[in-house]
Chains A and B, each alone.
Chain A
Amino acid sequence: MLKNYFKIAIAVLKRRKFFTFISLFGISFTLTILIVLTAFVDHLFSPSYPDPNRDRELFVNRIRLEASKKNGMSMSPLSFYFFDHYVAALKTPSKIAVYTNGEMSNGYKDNRKIVVELKYTNQVFWDVYQFQFLEGKPFTGGQLENRDKVVVISAATRAKYFGEEAQALGKYIEANNTQYRVVGVVKPVPFLNNFCYADLYLPYTLVQDNLKDQSLQGRFCATIQVSSSRDLPALKKEFAGMISKLPRSDESYDLIYCYPDEYLEVLTRGLLGQGKDKSTGKAFLIFGSFLLLFMLLPTINLVNINLSRIMERSSEIGVRKAFGASARTLTYQFIVENLILTLFGGLLGLIFSLVVLHVLNASDLSPNMELKINPVVLFYSLLACLVFGLLSGVYPAWRMSKINVVTALKANN
């Protein structure tokens, strides 16, 4: 039976070349966008180099202080003291990586300007993030203690300063009007991973601020790792308890918002929640309605074309009914036909997406971005394909099963 459906599907598709082209174009284009989007979301959120343990990590990157009486607000990263004094005292965390956000600076070499992003980190940073070292290793605790001017650089930075394929270990690199000795070179990380992307990684002790300053705000963030993802709720609870006990005053601020967040939460809280609300639901709502709206037009288009396709075949449907096909059988037949078409369009979409992803990866839209189609992406695009096929096939199929045999046979084809 299926083979016969397939046969007739192919025959129909071949006959109405123009309609087939429109359908395939619509399906493959829609799926291309969906696949590229999924690949991007996957790139953004799924654990990958150099952060394979993301599912048992929480991120703290901002504190929001409010003075409710004066209607004042201030939001910034945190002080080193906050992590060193309050967070380090917590019992749940097993590792706490502390680091600054990326800070821009310049280096000059051979009358060229090189713009670099600096990140000051602690020792644990190298333990939490599993960087792949192409040369050397992380700076040591001793070097950190002694405020040695040492640096770990990314391979991209090495290429910029020393040329492709050059060795950098032990050489000096100038940035910020200071000479730093290179102790390690790492494989570059995606630009969009804000927490660990940088060109130069420096010991946090080289920060010229007063690290003992007891104010809460500063320039540091942290990635807190626990031994198992089951401990995450406990960590959140313990952290919230700690925050509630922080000193505060009516004069400067009386409300403190600071949360250890999972990766998605930390992004949505910053983008949509102004550092206060988690906003993951809001994010899903926005994303979902965008997808729905985006898919609506191609779906209606496809439904329209499918309807024309069916009405054009009303005499065939009449004959099939006359010779004993039930409405249900015909409905199945059409849905299968439509699914074949959609899957075919999906295949084309997959090929187009490969091209688009290749172009996007090659462009410097976002450095070190490597969008790829992995099984997860593939699964979701296949799912999208099926949903699309069903969505656009069901209504026309229903209309078809309602076709009156007598009128269908009367209308000449």
Chain B
Amino acid sequence: MIKHLFKLIWNKKKENFLLISEILISFLVIFAVFSSITYNYLNYREPAGFKYDDVWMADLGSPVQGENKDSVMLVFANLKNALKGMPKVRDVSLSSNNVPFSSSMMGSGVEYGHVNIQSDMYRVDKDFAKVLQMKMQSGRWFNETDRNPVYLPVVLNAAAAMALTGSANAVGKLVKMEHQTLRVIGVADNLKDKSDFKTTSPGIYTLIDTSSIRGINTMLIKVSANADARFEDQMYRLIAGTTRAHNLQVAHLSEMRTKKNKEIIVPMVILLIISGFLIFNVALGLFGVLWYNISKRRSEIGLRRALGATAAGVSGQLLGEALVLATFSLIIGSFFAVQFPLLHVYDLPAGVYMIALLLSVLFIYLLVIVCALYPGKQAAAIHPAVALHED
């Protein structure tokens, strides 16, 4: 029977060419949409690895002015103490300006043996992990003993550890970054800190010291849940007064997260609306064309009925034809679709494409079934005598 259907479609390939190409293009559109949905959803499902609730960021706008590095160190030390003395402040950490959900990025090459990776670089202090409630996978976070070591200590995130040392435990290993040799003292959970929809990438944490203090102008502050705008105002004045900051801005990580998520969600929603309408459009078109094709073939259908095909058989056949038509498109479409993971067109994992491919194939079949169901039923209702008489 399937062979019979293929033959029918193949013999009419010229007539069906447009229909096949329409389904083909729809499939490619759906494939693109599902790829991005799958990718974003898989990223969304990953654990955040930290807590952003009640964490505020203070951006001083420009580096703190001071006569020398030590005096800048002192300004920050005093500020930290003063902030910690405030009633609703739990913890305070200095940070480079690439805090979670900010738009800033800082990267560096990291080397271990022959492995060389590009990694995000975070300059932080020993309270950073506490502020964000990060979890360690192995080793430890920075502490007071890290003042004057032989090798500067670093903490890797899990992605960096995996990329550098593979399955071996990274703790205790020596890595190279910017011509410096560093000792890995711990491996932390990945932080999904770019947005809820961004995958985690390798990251390396180093301790802020006098050599890097000049570039530091950001702080993360963990406050208690009842900290309000009045309290924020007090804190703002304290920081502004202590640092004589140029453009001080205090923002809440949770709000920054919402904003960052919007950067993904808004285009996705627009994409979904547009492709939704496109597909609806195509579905209607498909429905109309199938309907017309079937009404044109009334006598053929009448003949089949007269020759003993059941009503269910006739509608089944028409449905089958539509599915075979779709299969033609899907075979061609899949050929194009598998080029994406094969040629690494975008930097997405192959699994995403496979899931998207599967979903798109299912979706197209479903669409075709829905569009062919009603016309097929109409055809089944054709009375053989009437259909044959017409010719």
- CB-CB under 8 A for A300 and B232, given A22-B285, A103-B61, A105-B249: no
- Does B268 have its Cβ within 8 Å of any Cβ on chain A? no
Partner of A105, one of B248, B278, B390: B248
Bound state CA distance, A311 and B12, in angstroms? 15
The answer to whether A311 and B248 touch across the interface, beta carbons within 8 angstroms, is no
- Does A132 have its Cβ within 8 Å of any Cβ on chain B? no
- Does B274 have its Cβ within 8 Å of any Cβ on chain A? yes
- Chain B interface, >50% SS class: helix
- CB-CB under 8 A for A105 and B281, given A112-B229, A297-B25: no
Bound state CA distance, A208 and B143, in angstroms? 35
Q: Which residues 230-279 of B sit at the A interface, judged by CB distance below 8 A? A: 230, 232-233, 236-237, 240-241, 244-251, 266, 274, 277-278
> Which of B210-218, B288-296, B344-352, B353-361 lies at the binding interface?
B288-296
Return chain A residues, CB-CB under 8 Å to B29.
Answer: 297
- Does B391 have its Cβ within 8 Å of any Cβ on chain A? yes
> B129-161 toward A: CB 8 Å interface, digit per residue (1/0)?
000000000000000000000000000000000
Q: Which residues 288-308 of B sit at the A interface, judged by CB distance below 8 A? A: 288-289, 291-293, 296
The answer to whether A19 and B59 touch across the interface, beta carbons within 8 angstroms, is no
Q: Which residues 28-55 of B sit at the A interface, judged by CB distance below 8 A? A: 29
- Does A305 have its Cβ within 8 Å of any Cβ on chain B? yes
The answer to whether A106 and B249 touch across the interface, beta carbons within 8 angstroms, is yes
The answer to whether B247 and A307 touch across the interface, beta carbons within 8 angstroms, is no
Return chain B residues, CB-CB under 8 Å to A19.
Answer: 288
Return chain A residues, CB-CB under 8 Å to B22.
Answer: 297, 300-301, 304
> Which of A4-12, A25-33, A223-231 lies at the binding interface?
A25-33
Partner of B285, one of A26, A106, A412: A26
Binding site for B on A (CB under 8 A): 18-19, 21-22, 25-26, 29, 33, 103-106, 108, 111-113, 115, 118, 176-177, 207-209, 294, 296-298, 300-305, 307-308, 311-312, 365, 412
Report, as a range, how many residues of chain B touch the other chain. Answer: 35 or more
Partner of A25, one of B21, B61, B228, B284: B284
The answer to whether A108 and B249 touch across the interface, beta carbons within 8 angstroms, is no
User: Which residue in chain A gives the minimum CB-CB distance to B273?
Assistant: A33
- CB-CB under 8 A for A177 and B288, given A105-B61, A208-B62: no
The answer to whether B246 and A208 touch across the interface, beta carbons within 8 angstroms, is yes
Q: Which of A19, A298, A300, A305 has the most CB of B within 10 A?
A: A300
- CB-CB under 8 A for A106 and B250, given A177-B237, A312-B292: yes
Shortest 9 CB-CB distances between A and B: which pairs?
A177-B240, A108-B233, A301-B285, A308-B292, A22-B284, A104-B249, A103-B247, A105-B247, A111-B230
Return chain B residues, CB-CB under 8 Å to A108.
Answer: 229, 232-233, 236
Smallest beta-carbon distance A84→chain B, Å: 19
Return chain B residues, CB-CB under 8 Å to A207.
Answer: 246
User: Which residue in chain B gives the minimum CB-CB distance to A103?
Assistant: B247
- Does B19 have its Cβ within 8 Å of any Cβ on chain A? yes
The answer to whether B282 and A297 touch across the interface, beta carbons within 8 angstroms, is yes
Q: 18 extra interchain contacts, Cβ-Cβ under 8 A, other than A33-B274, A177-B236, A307-B18?
A: A18-B291, A105-B61, A106-B236, A108-B233, A108-B236, A111-B233, A113-B232, A177-B245, A209-B246, A297-B26, A298-B281, A300-B21, A301-B22, A301-B282, A304-B19, A311-B296, A312-B296, A412-B391
Bound state CA distance, A224 and B15, in angstroms? 60
Return chain A residues, CB-CB under 8 Å to B25.
Answer: 296-297, 300
The answer to whether B59 and A104 touch across the interface, beta carbons within 8 angstroms, is yes
Return chain B residues, CB-CB under 8 Å to A33.
Answer: 274, 277
Smallest beta-carbon distance A30→chain B, Å: 8
Smallest beta-carbon distance B238→chain A, Å: 10
Partner of B62, one of A209, A302, A365: A209
28 contacting pairs across A/B (C-beta < 8 A): A22-B287, A29-B277, A103-B61, A103-B247, A104-B249, A105-B61, A105-B247, A105-B248, A105-B249, A108-B232, A111-B229, A111-B233, A112-B229, A113-B233, A115-B249, A118-B247, A177-B241, A177-B248, A208-B244, A208-B246, A294-B278, A297-B22, A297-B278, A302-B285, A304-B289, A308-B292, A311-B296, A365-B266
Q: Which residues 342-382 of B sit at the A interface, judged by CB distance below 8 A? A: none
Return chain A residues, CB-CB under 8 Å to B62.
Answer: 208-209
The answer to whether B240 and A176 touch across the interface, beta carbons within 8 angstroms, is yes
Smallest beta-carbon distance A286→chain B, Å: 15
